[in-house]
Amino acid sequence: MKITLEQSFFFQVLVISAYDLSVDMLDVHADRNTFHRFDKFNTKYNPVGESTLREIFIKTDNYVGGKYFADVLKEVLSDLEDSKYQHAEPRLSIYGHDKEEWDKLAKWAIENDVYSVNARWLIQIPRLYDVYRSKKMVKNFDEMLDNIFTPLF
């Protein structure tokens, strides 16, 4: 069932409007405390402690195929190019639970044209093997490593 953002669980429960949204209110700034600490990074990755906005706006494989995320990125990348001397290192994740992840991510990047000379993309690999193993998403660590690295060669 399609619903508008305003009708979503997120806005109903938190009783906020789209006009209230800001980077400060969402508390999504990465800082030095988030490096090498996936638990702290993940907290920042769930704006206002909710995964709904993340699913809608900062995912490449959601209901709208990552369109919102690509549109926001293109705006940011355009601003970087206009400023000339500013650069960014956007990060995307490859999780290792599926060999098709690299192809899906590459397809999203190419179809949405999220290239800029002012951006150097980084791929991060969250340390979530124990989660994937307990949910039977991978049989063993070898399979996860195979899913991450085999598609590259």
Are the CB atoms for 105 and 60 separated by under 8 Å?
yes
Q: Does residue 20 lie within any of the structural domains? A: no
Whether 105 has a pLDDT exceeding 90, the answer reads: yes
In the structure, what pLDDT confidence band is assigned to residue 20 with cuts at 50, 70 and 90?
A: low
pLDDT at 60: 93
Q: Which two tokens stand for residue 67?
A: 């369109």
Measured in whole angstroms, how far is the alpha carbon of residue 136 from the centre of its chain?
23
Total number of domains constituting the chain: 1
pLDDT at 27: 61
pLDDT per residue over 27-52, tens digit each?
Answer: 655 667 666 666 666 666 666 666 67
> Which of the two residues, 147 and 53, has the higher pLDDT score?
147
Whether 26 has a pLDDT exceeding 90, the answer reads: no
Q: Does residue 144 lie within any of the structural domains? A: yes
Range of the domain at 94: 59-152
Measured in whole angstroms, how far is the alpha carbon of residue 96 from the centre of its chain?
15
Q: Does residue 17 lie within any of the structural domains? A: no
Q: Does residue 142 lie within any of the structural domains? A: yes
pLDDT at 74: 93
**Pairwise CA distance, residues 150 & 153, whole Å:** 6
Q: What percent of the chain has pLDDT over 90?
A: 50
Q: Does residue 102 lie within any of the structural domains? A: yes
Q: Does residue 77 lie within any of the structural domains? A: yes
> Which of the two residues, 137 and 43, has the higher pLDDT score?
137
> Which of the two residues, 54 and 45, has the higher pLDDT score?
54
pLDDT at 19: 67
Helix (H, G, I), strand (E, B) or coil at 119: strand
pTM for the model stands at 0.76
pLDDT at 149: 97
The strand ranges marked E within 1-112 are 91-93
